Amino acid sequence: MKAFMQRTTWITWVTFLEAIRQRFFAFLIVLGGAMVLSSVAFRFMDFGHGELKFVADFGFGGMFLFGSVLGVVMTAQLFFSEIDNRTALTLLAKPVSRAEFLLGKFFGTWLVLAIFVFVLSGLLGAVLWSRSIELNELAEKMGRLAPEFSPGGLVAFALLQWLRLGVVIAIVLTIASGARTFLYAVVVGALAVVAGQLQWIAQDVLLKPEGSVWYRGVLWVTSRLLPNLEQFNIGDALVLDPTSVPANAVVQVAISGLIYMVAFLMLGTALFRRREI
């Protein structure tokens, strides 16, 4: 077990260094940061709660958009670069199992996305905090209700966002483990992310009260094959109105994400073991 952890940690570190040196990562983190900071342009408009909600939604949306692009493309690229350059064959010829290889790729990419998420969350937190102070002063002068900003809620949401991107990475690795080309893994991975985001809409449309038990059962099972990524979108509530979020909501979402992440990694490992390199 100790040797398993040491080899996985080594592959994780190598993957992390390879990923963080890529220009694609630097480009997206700069682009995401610019998008978050661009919300400052709306400071001259006094929207009260509405303004902070807009800034929060704008920042959270950009974080997931660019984070998903980074997760899908970088994960597939790091995986297929090892396959195409035959370095995976060299590694696996040594006492490195395919499970260790896949887990190392996962954790290395996930660490890079941790930097991405927490850098953008820090920028967004600075924008929300500075604007909330100004709005609080203005609210006191005008006798209005001051908007609320919760730093703890922002940290909780950043952790959930990182977990959601971990689920995305696990899905892409599972697809890449059975795919033959980088392009196929990227396209199908992106479609899986979109399907996960829109899953709740399909459930609302297809799940009818008058439907038969079999119909509802089949729909329930098929809707669980992909995670509902929309359930992670509770950022504005956690940051601006934490009392409106049930105490166990964050825990339930986190457990759901962890289950899907582990399940897809196990499926990806099973597929990778059958793959010819």
pLDDT at 66: 92
Of 121, 124, 128, the closest CA to residue 43 belongs to 128
pLDDT of residue 207: 58
Asked if residues 146 and 88 have their Cβ atoms less than 8 Å apart, the reply is no
Q: Which residues of the chain have pLDDT under 50?
A: 46-48
Confidence (pLDDT) at 258? 94
Predicted local distance difference test score (pLDDT) of residue 143: 59
- The confidence score (pLDDT) of residue 67 equals 92
Span 119-138, pLDDT tens digits: 999 998 888 888 777 766 66
Residue 276, token pair as written in the block: 């010819």
What does the pLDDT read at residue 24? 86
For position 42, what pLDDT does the model report? 59
Give the pLDDT of residue 46.
47
Q: Rounded to an integer, what distance in angstroms lies between the CA atom of residue 52 and that of residue 127? A: 9
Q: Quick check: helix, strand or coil at residue 211?
A: coil
Give the tens place of pLDDT for each residue, 201-256.
666 655 555 556 666 666 666 667 788 888 888 777 777 777 777 778 888 888 98
Instruction: Domain count for the chain, please give it.
Output: 1
Q: Which residue segment(s) compose the domain that 236 sits in?
A: 2-273
Contacts of 270 (CB under 8 A, 6+ apart): none
**Measured distance CA(209)–CA(205) in Å, rounded:** 11
